Amino acid sequence: MKKILLIGAGLSSSTLIKYLLDNAEQNQWELIVADQSEELARKKIGSSKFGIAIAFNAYDTALRNELISKSDIVISMLPASMHYLVADDCIKYFKPLVTASYVSDHIKNMDQDLKNKGLLFLNEIGLDPGIDHMSAMKIIDEIREKGGNIEVFESNTGGLVAPEFDNNPWNYKFTWNPRNVVVAGQAGARFLDRGQIKYIPYHQLFRRTEILNVLEYGEFESIPNRDSLQYIEIYGLDAIKTMYRGTFRKPGFASGWHMLVQLGLTDDSFKIKGSDKLSYRDFTNAFMPYGQDRTVEEKVCDYLGFGIGSETMQKLRWLGLFDKKPVAMKNASPAQILQKLLEEKWALQDDDLDMIVMQHQFIYSLNGKRKKNISSMIIKGQNQVHTAMSITVGLPMAIAVKFILNGVINDTGVKIPVEKSIYQPVLAELEQFGIRFIEEEFDLD
């Protein structure tokens, strides 16, 4: 019986665990779920006789070595900054590793050693990165095989609340790590636009958006995401004129978030002394000039340049930034205080469902004609356990693990799923779970 070690049993692991346990008897697997909370790991395993829950501290070297050395494959759902601990042990004990995280420099430098050992470290095999890579490369390869030349590639992904449960002024609720949402974009963004490299600093990032339509779900706004330029080489698009990757939100979100950035409320670089003694109103006022004859609301409106009755002020009021409710956090950064407030306001309720929206747009030339291909995916969550985020992050990882153990995927080295040997079988099985793209093609000439 082959042993699968899964490290981390957080929100995104629910569907991953279910798939592995559902397929355990047929494939003769045993799944070891190791998490800081043994209780959480047990809950995720349920009554399955093929699962074992273990209390786990990633910094416990002896336990980490013991578990990895006795496993046939390792899945790390740890924070990205901790993958190196697992990767070092996997290469030491000759074990393949699967993660949904971006390839770190530490892991990238292991490539030749892994190839020499005949080992695979498969990274970026979740949603974004993951499904975005695979679905994009499928179309890129199809266009190339027809003899086409790709001029434009734009890709966007968003984790949102499903429309039926979209009931707040921000049209947004947390569907993944709140911390990542609050500090997103602080490194700015860069991309290629009609042959020119564009840089957008953080303080302008949420002003530089565009509106796109996705199937029957209407309009979404695209916010530039990190460094799009690196994907020119990754996707083999050296002659491309436009390369852009963005994040989807509903229209109006970015303009509101821009105001929070301008106020300084997303700053994570310092701690506020005595933050536990502040109210949220005091917190907001701390960023404003002194003005005894004006309310905090008036000062914010003057500072940011909008009216007291504006839609933006409605958003800020709704968040509770002017409430006298205590912050109740010691030595917290502005970003941490804002996150605490948002976690209360943007929480998915018990009956809420989330939604993943992904779209790729290609413009290419073929036989002297220019064409446009739009490939879109919408996935809704099933419930609060098997959310759309859990499904789209967990299923690609689980399917890849099965194919690695069964010898369908036998690549070696440090890989991401941009090669046919990986993306073809994974995408084919994802379609059986309803994860499929709807393609629209138009002639531009």
From first to last of its 445 residues, the chain has per-residue pLDDT tens of: 999 999 999 888 999 999 999 999 999 999 999 999 999 999 999 999 999 999 999 999 999 999 999 999 999 999 888 899 999 999 999 999 999 999 999 999 999 999 999 999 999 999 999 999 999 999 999 999 999 999 999 999 999 999 999 999 999 999 878 998 999 999 999 999 999 999 999 999 999 999 999 999 999 999 999 999 999 999 999 999 999 999 999 999 999 999 999 999 999 999 999 999 999 999 999 999 987 889 999 999 999 999 899 999 999 999 999 999 999 999 999 999 999 999 999 999 999 999 999 999 999 999 999 999 999 999 999 998 899 999 999 999 999 999 999 999 999 999 999 999 999 999 999 999 999 999 999 998 7
Between the alpha carbon of residue 344 and those of residues 84, 266, 347, 348, the distances in Å are 33, 16, 6, 9
Burial 29-40 (b: 16+ CB within 10 A, else e): bbbbbbbeeeeb
Between the alpha carbon of residue 211 and those of residues 141, 222, 245, 389, the distances in Å are 27, 6, 14, 23
What is the chain's alpha carbon radius of gyration, rounded to the nearest angstrom?
A: 23
What are the structure tokens assigned to 210, written together? 């565009």
Strand segments, DSSP code E, in 113-195 are 120-122, 149-161, 189-193
- Whose structure tokens read 């793209």? 437
Q: pLDDT at position 423, please?
A: 98
**What single-letter amino acid sits at 228?**
S
Q: In the chain, helix, strand, coil percent, each to 5? A: 40, 25, 35
135 CB burial (10 A radius; 0-12, 13-18, 19+): buried
Distance CA 374, CA 441 (A): 6
CB-based contact 204:224 (threshold 8 Å):
no
Length of the chain: 445
Domains of the chain are: 2-129+388-432 (3.40.50.720)
Q: pLDDT at position 283, please?
A: 96
Q: pLDDT at position 291, please?
A: 79
Distance CA 347, CA 173 (A): 6
- Whose structure tokens read 């229209």? 251
- Whose structure tokens read 């059986």? 432
What is the separation of C-alpha 401 from the centre of its chain, rounded to a whole number of angstroms?
A: 20
Q: Among residues 165, 191, 155, which one has the least CA distance to residue 358?
A: 155
Strands 51-55 and 29-35 turn out to be parallel
What is the separation of C-alpha 196 from the centre of its chain, rounded to a whole number of angstroms?
A: 27
Q: pLDDT at position 333, please?
A: 97
Strands 196-200 and 189-193 turn out to be antiparallel
Greatest distance between any 2 Cα atoms in the chain: 74
